[in-house]
Amino acid sequence: MEIKIVGDVGIAIFVKRLDAYTSRDAEMALKDLIEKGVRRIVCDLSQTEYIASAGLRLLLSVAKNLQRLSGQLVLCSLGPYVKEVFDTAGFTQLFKIFSSTEEALTSLQH
């Protein structure tokens, strides 16, 4: 996973697979970001082709953690398979989802 900082917003660019193995590393990277004071995070899923329940749990956990800290997590660039998984799991109702990183960043500026 690649992390970028734009202003005071963290952008996490996820890998091809977000499963039980990769979600551990992603969780550590996101926790590290939050510990450094980042309260607004964009999760860019443009490269993610597969997401398992572990990946869904990770996103939900980080979103709840940020909410407790008056922060926010938004998602962007979901591919067809990932979007289908989110729809099936009801996660499209839980997250703000944008079509691009730019849109997601703009939403967090307000």
pLDDT tens sequence across 65-86: 999 999 999 999 999 999 999 9
Name the band, by pLDDT with cuts 50, 70 and 90, for residue 20.
Answer: very high
Confidence of residue 89 (pLDDT cuts 50, 70, 90): very high
Select from 27, 100, 96 the least CA-distant residue to 58.
27
Q: Pinpoint the alpha helices (H) of 4-79.
A: 22-35, 53-68
Q: What is the pLDDT of residue 55?
A: 97
| pLDDT greater than 80 at residue 110 | no
pLDDT digits (tens, 9 = 90+) for 25-68: 999 999 999 999 999 999 999 999 999 999 999 999 999 999 99
Of 18, 91, 12, 89, nearest to 49 (Cα)? 18
Residue 109 pLDDT exceeds 90: no
User: 2-109, which class in CATH?
Assistant: alpha beta
pTM over 0.85: yes
**Domains of the chain, residue spans:** 2-109
